[in-house]
Amino acid sequence: MFSKILIANRGEIAVRIIRACKEMGVSTVAVYSKADKNALHVALADQSYCIGEAEASESYLNENQIISTALLAGAQAIHPGYGFLSENARFARLCRKNGLVFIGPDPESMERLSDKARLKELAAAAGLDVIPGTKALPTLEEARNAAGTLGYPVMLKACAGGGGRGIRLIRGEDELEEAYLQARAEAQAAFGDGSVYLEKYIFPARHVELQILADEQGHVVCLGDRDCSLQRRNQKLLEETPSPAVSPAQRERMAALCIEAAKKLGYVGAGTLEFLLDREGRFWFMEMNVRLQVEHCVTEMLTGVDLVKWQIRIAAGIPLDFLQKDVPLSGCAIECRINAQSCGTLKMLHTPGGPSVRFDSCLIAGTAVSPYYDALLGKLVVYAKTREEALRKIRAALCELVIEDIPTNIEEQLNIVGDERFVTGNYDLTFMGNR
């Protein structure tokens, strides 16, 4: 096991990783921008270093500065969290070059799986049903021909995409040119790669993902599914596990398929296979996320498996000590993402408590929400033995949560969990008016 880990991230995920390390007896190193000098993750870490200005490009995306800091602090490994450098194969390779362990998949796996168009070919070969689509389309003319072949409506997506960026729904040929140019520009700005591809638009559909863990010894387990259909502009707002739209038989079948696919792909670490579930009950593979997901904690609440600790153990070469049959999937867990709606400084915070209630956050009195980073303030998660009880618990927890002087979406989340469509489990990606 590592004795010291640098966390190359900020906010609630940096706090989450530091807490896991403390429980494992591992020392931690925090890095921070000038805007985050008073942040909670800085105070909690055993060591902390300022690595640059507020802009992420000057700090949390500064690969050489982070590597230098890790070496200076005597860290043996780097945990990237999610976002920033978590899916950057170049950074993972730079870690290896400098004798540091990147806590995540190896750079070769990231490169192989990061191109979504190429990944679909690999997924189909591994036995998954793949949404009909294309390879990268370097010209508008190629995109126009491909869209005509697939048939409108189609989805235009960034090959190196993530976080809902570089995605456009195209309902007819008259929308194609503008969407193509916009998506390419957005993808280039966000990922440094402007390549895009097309896929058939599956509608209506739910967004269901399956969480896996895979160790270096070839053991793979699936930790159930999450329903992530509550989204606005392709940004997730609420997740629950298990999905109310998936039957036990479907769940068992998909878990087996995902385990087999991960083995064929030679994947090691925590990963998520994402699908669209159509109204006929067919799962269509979309993509694989090769990092810790924001919504990992809802799976932890259901299964009792600490994904962050297992990421660290797997990176240290430690094999999984449980089998698929040992994973408990009974009950229901629901997560609401609490987002800031504008900048501000936190005056007072009150978080709900009680059995199986969790609030993952970086908030403390005096925390300033800056315009430089993501709007996520925290994740409110509950678990109960039944979905009905979990619904009552999440409503009570949202009513009790108080975040003063920072406008948030708490009221919106209350409206969502009280909506009849959500209460009955009869919802899909159109819930927030996305389509």
Active site residues per annotation: 291
Our CA angle for 394, 398, 403, nearest 5°, is: 150
Q: How far apart are CA 215 and CA 317, in angstroms?
A: 7
Q: How far apart are CA 134 and CA 118, in angstroms?
A: 9
Question: What contacts 101, CB < 8 A, 6 or more positions away?
Answer: 2, 76, 77, 78, 95, 315, 316
* CB 12, CB 379: distance < 8 Å: yes
Q: Which amino acid is at 94?
A: L
Q: How far apart are CA 274 and CA 287, in angstroms?
A: 5
Sheet holding 269-278, edge to edge: 283-289, 269-278, 205-214, 220-232, 235-241, 332-339, 376-384, 357-361
Residue 204 exposed, middle or buried by CB count within 10 Å (0-12, 13-18, 19+) = middle
Q: How many other CB atoms are found less than 10 A from the CB of residue 164?
A: 13
Helix H or strand E encompassing 187: helix 176-191
Q: How far apart are CA 61 and CA 45, in angstroms?
A: 20
* CB 338, CB 408: distance < 8 Å: yes
